[in-house]
Copies of this chain bind each other. A is one copy, B any other.
Amino acid sequence: MKRVGILLSGRGSNFEAIAQRIDEGKLDAEIAVVVSNIETAPGLRRARERGLDVAFVSSKGLAREAFDQQVVDILHKRRVDLVCLAGFMRLLSPSFIRAFPNRILNIHPSLLPAFPGLQAQRQALEYGVKVSGCTVHFVDEGLDSGPIISQAVVPVLDGDTEESLSARILEQEHQIYSKAIQIVLNGQIRIEGRRAVPIS
């Protein structure tokens, strides 16, 4: 059974969607550990309630590298095959990324490369796009810039607020993240240049 480590800073709704797919037998994996940099993150509490291994790593007074090394140590100790970011509000250092080459995934609430960074849904509304969506991608050293595994599209409606658009995108996030994780765990994808292409 492939082992997934999850990093989160907030409510962790994508973590919960992944855990639910596993419970339903729709994603063939197990969650080895849930790590957070925020002690009070609701996602961390929910992971505990599910009886999962959890870890809180305080970033207080730590240099990025020192914090990242602690997280990497935890992930290595739990023999994690794949790291999934689920609302983890910190940039990973290059040494973290090198510790899990092509083994870190993120989900972002826009059709990348449009609207990277924070508040992607607000960026999309302010730009005035008519469609947006979400993107599962490998994490590299850039900002939301790694090879794309999967994207889902949602319409932007005329009366949309940041909340209504975010909710519509989130539904799709919950759909595509687990599927992308399964594809990567199955080794059904390889990276060519900056493209993630299926192995036929």
Q: Which residues of A approach B to under 8 Å, CB–CB?
A: 111-115, 126-131, 133, 147-148, 150-151, 153, 158, 193-198, 200
Contact = CB atoms under 8 A, between A and B. Distances in A.
A114 B133 CA distance: 13
Copies in the complex: 2
Given A114-B114, A197-B158, A128 B153 contact: no
Contacts of A112: 114, 129
A128 B147 contact: yes
A16 B127 CA distance: 30
B151 A196 contact: no
Contact of A130 (B115, B129, B151, B194): B151
Nearest to A145: B127
Contacts of A147: 128
